[in-house]
Structure formats: C-alpha cells, structure tokens
Structure 1
Amino acid sequence: MRNIFQKNSALFLNTCKKMYKMFKNNAEVKFQEEIGMTKIAFIAPYPELAILARKVCGEKYSDVAVFYGLLENGLVCAQKALNEGFQVIISRGGTANLIRNHIGIPVVEVRVTGYDILRTFSEFIGTNKTIGVVGYRNVVEGCRSVSQMLGIPLREMLTLNNERPDWEVMRAQLQMQLEKAPVDVVVGDALVVSKLRLEVREVRLIMSGDEAVCEAIEEARRIIKVQDKEKKSAEQLRTILSFIHDGVIAIDNTGKITVINPSAESIFKLKTTQVIGKNIKQVIPNTRMLDVLKHGKAEIEQLQNTPSGMVVTNRVPIEINGEIMGVVATFKEAGRIQQTEQKIRTKLYSQGLYAKYSFENIMAWDPEMLRVIERAKRYARTDGTVLIEAESGCGKELFAQSIHQASSRCRGPFVAINCSALPTQLLESELFGYVEGAFTGARKEGKPGLIELAHGGTLFLDEIGDMELTLQARLLRVLEERQVMRLGADKWLPVDIRIVAATNVPLKQRVLRGQFRMDLFHRLNVLSLSIPPLRLRRKDIIPLAEYFLAEFANKYGQRPIELTAAAKDILLQYSWPGNVRELRNIMERISLVYEEAQDVSAILRDFLDNSDYCNNPGYSAPELAKTGMPAVKPEQFLLPQNIRNMKRQLAVYALATCGGNKSKAAKQLGITRATLDRLLRQQE
C-alpha cells in the first residue's frame, strides 16, 4: 500500500515539475515584454492556475502579466514585479499570505469559491469515499459546507493559519492521523501536494475556476483605479502645498509629522526627509499642535516664535466621523503679513478707498462733545448701521472715518459718496455700478459700483436725506439682503458692508412729509449719533481756534498768533453757522493776513462781517435757518442789540429742543438756570 501511495504522489509531483518547467521558460520570455504595459502581476502557485490565468487574460485582460511561483519562488517573483513598478499582485493561498507579509504593495487573493470546491467534490458523489481536508480556514469551512450538502463523509485533518508553518512537523502529524484513521482522498491546495507529500491513494488539488480568476483581476483593477485617483489627488495637494507661501505642517493622531511643505521647511529650517514620521514635539519643541490634538479645539491667529522670527499660526484639528485623526497648522511670517497689508493699503490709496482720520484727530474739550466721541467709539466695536445727524461743518465724515478705523473692518476699504452732489441717474450708476450696454455712454467692460467696492469695509453715505425715493428703495434692498445688482444685470451679488449714513436735515420731518421712506429711516437709524453744533460747545471754540492758529503757523512758517481777550469775546459771541469748518477757515485767513502789532480782534471782526455764511443781504443761510435763529444783515450781525437778540433766540431754541426743561436747556447752553431765566425775560 505504501508503494502505491508513493507512486501516486511521485506521479503528481513529476507532472507538476514538467508543467512548471514548461511554463517557467515561457514566463521568463514574457516577463520583460509585459512589465512595460501592465500594472498587475498574477503569480500562480500551481501550473494549472497559471495556464488558466493566461487563457483568461488573453481573452479579457491585456493589462495582467501571469507568472508561476509557489511560496518562496512566488515571493522572488513578487519582488521582481515590485522592482519593475507593478502596482498590485494577485496570488492564492499560502503564497498570497507570504507575499502580503513581505511586499509593500496590495495583494489580492484568488478566493477558493464554492464552485471550485463543488467541482472537486462532484466526482466523489455516490462513491462512499472518505475525504480528508487540509488547508486554510476558508477552504476547510467551504469543504465542510459542500460535503454536508452532497452527503460526502469529510474529516477535517488540519487547519492552517497565516503564520509560516513547519512543514516537516505538520507532515508527521498528518501521517500519524492517516495511520490511525485512513482516508481515501486528501483535498487541499498546492501546499498539500508540494510540501506535505502525504502517503495517500489520491490527492486532489482544489483548483480555481474562471470566475475566481476574473473576480480577483477585477478587484485588482479597482484597487489600481483608487490608487491612481489617490495619486492624482496627492500630486495636486503636493503642487498646491509647494506653491503656498504659508508654511503647512500636518500630524496624525499619534503626533507624527505626515506633511510639511517647502515654506514650512524654510520657516523652521528643516528638511522633509529628516522629519517625516517624527513626533512633532521633537522637531518643534514650542508647538501646541499636540494640545489641539488632545482637546480638539482650533487655535486661530496665534503668535509663535520660530528660527525665522515671529509667525502667525493657525492650528485646526482634522476630524473624520467625529474622531480627531490629526492636526494641520499653517504659519505666516509677520513680515509677509505686513507686506501684504501694505500692498492692500497701497491699492486702496490709489483708488481713494481709505479712511484718513481716526478718533485721535477729533479735537474736543466740551463735555457733551466728549460724550458723543465715547458713544461713537462704542458704536465702532459693533457692526451695526450708524446714522449721524449734524449741521454742515460739524465733521460728520470725520466721525464716519474714525468709526471705520476703530472697527474690525479697518483693513477694508472706506468708500464715501455725497448723495446730494450728483444727479439721481449718475448717483445710481455710481452706487450700484452697471454692466456692458446698460445705458448710452456706459463703459464697454461695465463698472463695479461703490457698494461693491466697499465689500469687506464701510460705505459712507453723506447727505442721505437728499437721496431720491427711487434710489431709497434700491438702497433698502442692500441693507435688508446684503445684496446688490448692477444696472442692466440680472444677478444679485452678495456684499459684506457696514453702512454709515449722515444728514444735515431732520430725517424724521422728511419722513412725515413723504420725502424719505420710513422703512429706510428705521434701517439706517439703528445706532444714532447726534453731533452738537459749535455754538452749543462753547468750551471747544477757543481751544479749537488756538489749535488751528498753531497748525497754520507751522504750515506757513510763522510765529503762532496769540488771541487777545477781545478776540476771544468775539469768537464766543459769534454763532458759527458754518461750525468747525467756518472756524478753521477764519483762522487760516487770519494766519495769512496778520502782521506784527495788528489788532487781532479787528481782523477777526472784519472777517466775520464778510463771512461766507453771511454774504447775502438778509442772511438766509440754510445752516442758520435750521436753528430757528432770526435773519439779519451782515453789517448788523455784531451790533450789541442783535447779539442780545441772538442770545435770547438761542435760549428759546434750546428750551424748545429740550421739551421745556430749563435745567437741560441751561446745561446745553453751558450757562446757569438763573442766566437762562434772565435771557428769556429780555425783550427783543
């Protein structure tokens, strides 16, 4: 019996050797021919599978190269394939496991299917032969299911694991089992035949069929498709990171560096090849990326010292399905930030879209004016719409620019337009812009409006009360929706702007007269700011006059002019209908014409008699008319009786604006209540 077993095994092995030699010679020729065209290496652990795979590939898959190699021979073949640039290897059973453990590319296993086992077991149906199975778990379990289904006796002799086995020990164990409980046929894969050499009557190799080979090749193709996609994405990312001026470093969930771009190399004086895979703390000791990895909270715009100096860094956790998988950090050199900011400012300056003044430029000593400035500073800390109400010459745009400079939008544009300075159609095109062919005379390429140009900054609408109702409706849409549409366009553009509006006319009265939309008024009047006129800020008049005289003395290279007591009295008695603008103009004139030993008060009186605000007979300047003060001729303006009348009119006006409250009126005028009563009792 032993001789029969040995003869049977020897015959099978000789057949395999002949087929292997024949196939090997053929494969050696084909190897060099096919490696340039293919990405998949099919390494068959037994000759029949190699022949089948070559047949299938010849019919369907020209991108697969087929080779024969069992275990160590298969591993050698796989190493050659790796060196030649193959992307995926296909093999079966123990050979596939061995290659997977030693080669760093994907390995697809030709699975032993139910059809393969069924084909092997079908010839034993009705023979009463006892079948023994040796193989890996999936093979043993598959044989068990098929044998139960077909009613064929099965003995599970040995289940292999993925560890490298000691074949001689296994052979001895199996031989002992066979002597105690013989079987008629041993079923398994190529390892059973080539390594165990069991002394049994029959040995059957479970051979894979066409469907298993095709399934493995399709799986390999899917892997290559994913690899190619990932490779393209990685190349795109590499290109992007290479050209980003900011430094970028990423770590995984263990703190090891996975990505570092050239800018980060330059900032930290590192080399990618030296730091990839190292713990971030070893490379950058003062980093907080591990802290972000731990608590999962982003850290934005943080300062960090580096070998290249101070940088601004952002650290953000990489979160996938609720799990922190790593952290990415960006680094921007402080000098580069300053350069970028300077370029932006230069561009805005070239377009005139910048704010020149800040709160430091507003000169004030009067308590009421100081309170207004403090309120404006609080408004600057918000992003709400501001409505400034003041007479002409009070510095409405100065306040608007200061609010912009003190806000979070200070780096954005400041765009100003006077709504009363342009005709309605021109104002509309300036505000909203237009597309090509919107109207006759329009630019061929179109033009962005001031609202668009103010994106990210502040839009200052001066003299908003003079805007036509049709334009008011369009402006309301901008305020409500934060969108703008150019003239002639059909698409809305989102805009991020803050609006500061100003008026020198009472908007409430205009609303009551139907000259201003009530809904727009309420949209504008979110944060209201009322700047008192100069005549109600008596403590500001003399300091401002002296400040302007010093400014112009420096400008024209002169000695500062000192105001006499008489000149100060004249300044305090004058009503300043042109407010600070008029005061500044008068001080500049005095600086230009004053000569040593001249009477400053005489020059001042002469200038005030001929002021731009009093150059019409009957004096009907709109700014003064709004105060309710009487109209007088210029030559009568500083006569004592008229000054007394003006004081009384101021007292009456203040009392009216304060709702009849004498204490508030006296405080507004900067006088005592007794003085107010005396002024009210005077006869005109």
Structure 2
Amino acid sequence: MRLEVTCQDRVGLAKDILEVLEQHKINLKGIDASSLGYLYMQFADLNFDTLSELLPRIRKIQGVLDVRTTPFMPSEREHYALKTLLKTLPDGVFAIDAKGRISIVNDSALKILDMQEEEVLDESLNHWVQGFSFGRWLSLEEVTAQATRVSVGNKEYLVEALPVYLPNEEGDSILAGAVVAMKTPQRVGEQFSALQNQVAGFEKIKANSKAMKAVVKQVRKLAQLDAPLLLSGEIGSGKEIIAQALHEVSLRKEKAFITLSCASLSGSSEVKALFGEVDAKGLWHAGALQQANGGTLLLSEIDELSLDSQGRLLHFLQTTEALPHGSEKGKSANVRLVVATNQELERLCQSGQFREDLYHRLNQLNCQLPPLRLRREDILPLAEYFVDRYCQQLNKPVAHLTEACEELLLQYAWPGNVRQLKNAIFRAVSVLDDHRDITPELLKLPHYHQDFGYLDDEFDGTLEQAVKQFEANIIRRLYPSYTSTRKLAKKLGMSHTAIANKLKEYGISKPPITYTDS
C-alpha cells in the first residue's frame, strides 16, 4: 500500500508522520519526497479499519493538507520505466562505473556476451569487449562521448559510450561512470533506413504549434522501440494519426497496422476480436493480435476493455501468447502494441475498473496529445489541408476560407478537437456550389462555451427544457462512440432501460455516419 501526502514544507513533518506510523506498528518499506509539496510512503497492505483510523490522524498533523492512497510512488514508476525500457531495447546497453566495471546490463547485452547477469555484474567490461579501453577512457582528464568499432569474440559492433556526470553541492560535475550502447552493423543500417523514411510518416501531421512539435519529436524517438506505448488525450485529438505515423517510420513499417476499438466490443466478441477463436470444429480464427503479427496494433479506448480481456492482454505482454476464445492453448504473436485512451487510467486503477499491473505494463512509454484549443497555430494549416483534400475527393473546384471563417476557426473552443474540425470542413465543402469561398455559415458549428458546453443563441423555455436539451446533446455526442446501448448506459452510469427510454424520448436513432481517413 502507498500513501500520497500533500503537505507544506515544514521541518519535522516527516518525523511526525513516522511517529504516527510507529504508534500503529506499521513498518515503512519506502519513502519519497517531492519539492512540489508531496510526500510518498510505502508499507504493507492495511485492513480497512486500520486505514480508516490512520488517514484522519495523519491529516491532523500540522502542515498536512491531504492524504490519500496512490497506486505507486514516483521512484517506483521511474525505476520500473527504466528497467522495462532497458529490457525491451534491441541494442545491448551497459552501465559502467568510473573504473569500467559493469553495474547494469540489459537482456540484449547479455545475449551479445552469452552470459548470465550474475556472471557479469561488477566485472570489467573489457573482459569481453576488445578494441577500446573503457578504464583508460574514463581516467582521462576530460571524458567526452565516444563512438568506435569494437569486437566481442569474432563479431564486430559499433559502440557509443556516453559519460555520466553528477553535480555535487558546489555545482561542479563528478564523473560517475558511463552508459555504453552496442549495435550490430545490420542494426545501424536498419536505423539509418528508418530515419530516411521519417519525413513521409509524419508529413500528414500539422505541427506548427510548440505543443505539437514536442509530440512529434517525442514520437520519433519512440518509433524504433518495441515496448508498449500509451497515447492519452481528449476524443478526436489525433491519437490514431500519431499511432499510424509511428508505425510508418518504425522497423515494422512493411507489416500490418491494425486498429481495434475496445468500445465497440463486449463479452465473448471482445475476446474473439482481440485474441482469436477456436471454434467447435477446432478451426482457428485469427484475432487482431495475430492479424498484426510483425506489425503494430492500436487498441483505442483501452479503458473500455473488460477485466477478463485485461487479464488476457497482460498474459500476452508477459508471454507474447494470445489466449483465444474456446482454447487454453495460446497463439504467439510479435506485435508492437499502442493503446489509446481519453480517460485517466490511474483513477480507474484506484476504483478497480482497470488492472494496476496491466497499467504499469502499458505505461512503459507514454505520450500526452494536446487538445486543439491548446495548439491554435495548427488550426488554420489543418483546415486548409482538409479543404484541399475534400475538394479533390468530392471533385470540387479549389475552395478558400474567408477571413471571417478563419477568425471563427481560431476563436472556437473545438470540444471535438481535430475530428470535429475535419467533419466541419467536409460538411462545408460538400455543400459548396459555384462559389469557392467557405463562410462561417457553411461550417454549421454549434455554439459552445468551454465552461458551460453547447449553447443556443437564443433560449426560450423552462429550466427543465434546458436540462433536457443539454442531456440530449450529451447523449447525441456520445452515441457514435458507443454503438451498443449497454456500453453507452455504462458510460453514463444509467441502466440499460433508462438509456433506451432517453434515446426514444429525444428521437436519437442509430449513430450517424462519420467520415474518417481513408
């Protein structure tokens, strides 16, 4: 169990908290402190009665603002992320101390040496690597980054060695050792080829804003890794486009890119669609994991995945074997998994709706996409791109946005993000006649306020009518993403009967067709 304490910076605060733990005979396993006003503690799980007594006592301590349980401590997340990243890197990586002795080694490096971890730790890296003296390099007066060719046995590798400096209290740098990465000539060639293709993979992403440029830069770096990637961001913020761009610049670009929405599935169909099926005749039917073998699988709305399928997905990440419906024998698949969500998975972990162990597996690498309202510099380039695209697609003359239309696009809140912008432009281009100007009226954007949601220019009615109109708007917006009324009911915290009655009352039928990228 772990606690997050929000507190003031007061001398003796930690001591007072530890005294409360001692009075309850709680053995502390770990503690983290943050300069942002947070204190984290880890200890064995407590029963409900003990926890109910402990939390109020901690809150009464002077300087404590709040205390709550948390799924992990910052140091745990950093340690787990680093360990997992090293484990999944295809290149051999060593951390060595200032004398050239190995302190950390990943699985790829152990394969190069053909040794076990316990056999190489605290040993000199030069016991196995010839062609460069790491000890002599680290003893130089000025240690700088090196790139050189070395050999292990009768095989050659390219080594990149980076010194690690730590600051002391005086602000000077102290050499603590180095990080050494080893690559085969074939691996270097593959990465060079992938880098040449990166422009093509990201050209469809309009990244004029600082926020989006940072996302593209981050995803470029993550494209060559095989560890799972968690994409988070609001509905319509472009998570699928980012995932596809990542695939197109990765070493898996020649294989399939498969997308599966977890929100559109339920029950056994969910297991069949993702993990496959063995039918009554013993015939095998591939799921998305097998269809994406060798390539990339994007699971959108991962928060909608059932607990049973979450367990199967965790098993796959641990073993690379997918457990199909109707069989206990797994099917192996080599897949780069990308998952996307617009929910806070940490909160869902705390409420028991999402497995914490699966969350840690999926959150090895993560990227947060900004909403369109926070990337204003991208709005007009995106709009012009969609105008040109749909004019060609619908065989229309080249159209232009009027100045008034551009002003509206820049001022609008865009609750539906890029997807809403794309659909608005499609709607406007589709109704264009002989004139070639797109005006604000053609966009037909509903009035929206960031704090109050969708509004009417003029409202004439009672409060009850206003509430019903607001309710209908929410259901109408969500229904396209939840084609099952049971899924929609669960999302809104209502019974299936209640949501069916609401759909009937407001005249909301099957979800309208939305236009997606071809």
Under a length normalisation based on structure 1, what TM-score does the superposition of the two structures give? Answer: 0.36
Under a length normalisation based on structure 2, what TM-score does the superposition of the two structures give? Answer: 0.48
Structure number with higher relative contact order (C-alpha < 8 Å, ≥ 6 residues apart): 2
Bigger radius of gyration: 1
Structure number with the higher helix fraction is 1
